[in-house]
Amino acid sequence: MKNLIKVALYQPDIPQNTAAIIRLCACFKTKLDIIGPCGFNLADKRLKRVTMDYKDNCEIKLFSNYEEFIVNRKNERIILMTTKSKKKYNIFKFKKNDILLFGRESAGVPNKLHKNIKNKLTIPIHKNTRSLNIVTSVAITLSEALRQNNIF
């Protein structure tokens, strides 16, 4: 069963994280959008090592920039996952056509994008910590969105 919820990565920095997210998306039959430019070459051997053969089972679409990504997104709702939100992911009602957008590991998304995206969510964590690893964040959020929509 192919699911409609998508994961999008904004200018990812770390090939191993992107690879683990590709594998995660393959396991859940979730499409993955990668918004460039990336901080690494997509042919990087570290990416290949972690994805193993899962890359062939994940539908990946590459975009050269955010403007190219955002075109024709009228029927899809973009949900930005960020540490700069008070709204918790677990009380949000996800829809089947949502795109879960995750920012760059080193810097998140630019302020301009942050301001223009209506739906921003956070995963609550202990106050003495800064953030979760992006792969963990994708897994937590994606599994909740799938659960709410009775997918899998």
Task: Give mean pLDDT, residues 79-108.
Answer: 95
Q: What are the distances in angstroms from CA 52 to CA 21, 28, 115?
A: 12, 16, 37
Q: 142 falls in which pLDDT band (50, 70, 90)?
A: very high
Placement of tokens 């955010």 in the chain: 66
**Residue 2 pLDDT:** 57
Sorted by where each starts, the structural domains of the chain and their CATH numbers stand as 6-148 (3.40.1280.10)
Class of residue 15 by CB neighbours under 10 A (exposed 0-12, middle 13-18, buried 19+) = buried
User: Could you read off the pLDDT of 118-127 as tens digits, one per residue?
Assistant: 999 999 999 9
pLDDT score of 25 more than 90: yes
pLDDT score of 109 more than 80: yes
